[in-house]
Amino acid sequence: MQIISIINQKGGVGKTTTVINLAAGLAQQEKKVLVIDLDPQGNATTGLGLSNLENSSDTIYGVLNGTRSITEVIKKTEFENLDIITSNVDLSGLEIEIASDNERAFILKVKLAAYLNNSRGYYDYILIDCPPSLSLLTVMALVSSHSLVVPLQTEFFALEGLTQLMKTIERIKVNLNPELKIRGILLTMYDKRNKLSSQVEKEARDYFKEKVYLTIIPRNVRLSEAPSHGMPVLIYDKSCPGSKSYFSFTDEFIGQEQKIGSAA
């Protein structure tokens, strides 16, 4: 069972889109998936067809403030094999509420461990949608995760932001979670008409080598339309370029497991 955070401290890089569509792609391949929406904006929640306006204790906020257990807040989506723990704006106040707790970085990890040790629900993957900042919520996700997927938009400044993220990841590895590794970097919002896109791709591949996935996610209108219908693009329009690339990414992602397995 893998716990994987999808992370980038910049907003608008395709992070939630990646969580929703990777989760849907894995679910369609008979993998059991739990999405944890750890972003107070609740976009993964609405993107999978649930409301981010409901009673806040039945969300991840209720788990992190100690009023609920994980088992109590898991909700079914209308997509088979795919469950979610929702989020809403109340989560943004959590940092202040638990400021005096010395173990605050470990709260999510402890809750997940308790759930998994005593679990009636079995998942192949838990995917965490992180907020677009290097805040306490992001640190909680990094401490809880086995590995990370980093969506990187192929635009100017993208690589600059990535160096800051790498420093944070290294600090977390040294101090809080030595197991943490980067599973891969996913290039998003690629525009083949734009020379800059291929330039950023080249720089990313030169620097991160095989850590960069072969699949590239293009700019695609259907990709941005799908969340407003509360469904992954893989279901909204399975033949559009965005869907094809997320199907291909899901295959590549699952292929990594086989590589890791055969290496072990």
Q: What is the pLDDT of residues 166-188, one digit of tens each?
A: 999 999 999 999 999 999 999 99
Domains and CATH numbers, the chain: 2-263 (3.40.50.300)
Angle of helix 195-208 relative to helix 158-175, nearest 10 degrees, comes to 30
- pLDDT score, position 121: 62
At 190-231, the pLDDT tens digits run: 999 999 999 999 999 998 999 999 999 999 999 999 999 999
Q: Whole-angstrom Cα distance, residue 91 to residue 235?
A: 29
pLDDT band at 160 (very low <50, low <70, confident <90, very high): confident
Is the pLDDT at 236 greater than 90, yes or no?
yes
At 30-61, the pLDDT tens digits run: 999 999 999 999 999 999 999 888 777 899 99
Q: Whole-angstrom Cα distance, residue 48 to residue 115?
A: 23
- pLDDT score, position 77: 96
Which residues are CB-neighbours of 82 under 8 A, at least 6 positions away? 23, 24, 27, 33, 35, 48
Is the pLDDT at 151 greater than 60, yes or no?
yes
Is the pLDDT at 119 greater than 70, yes or no?
no
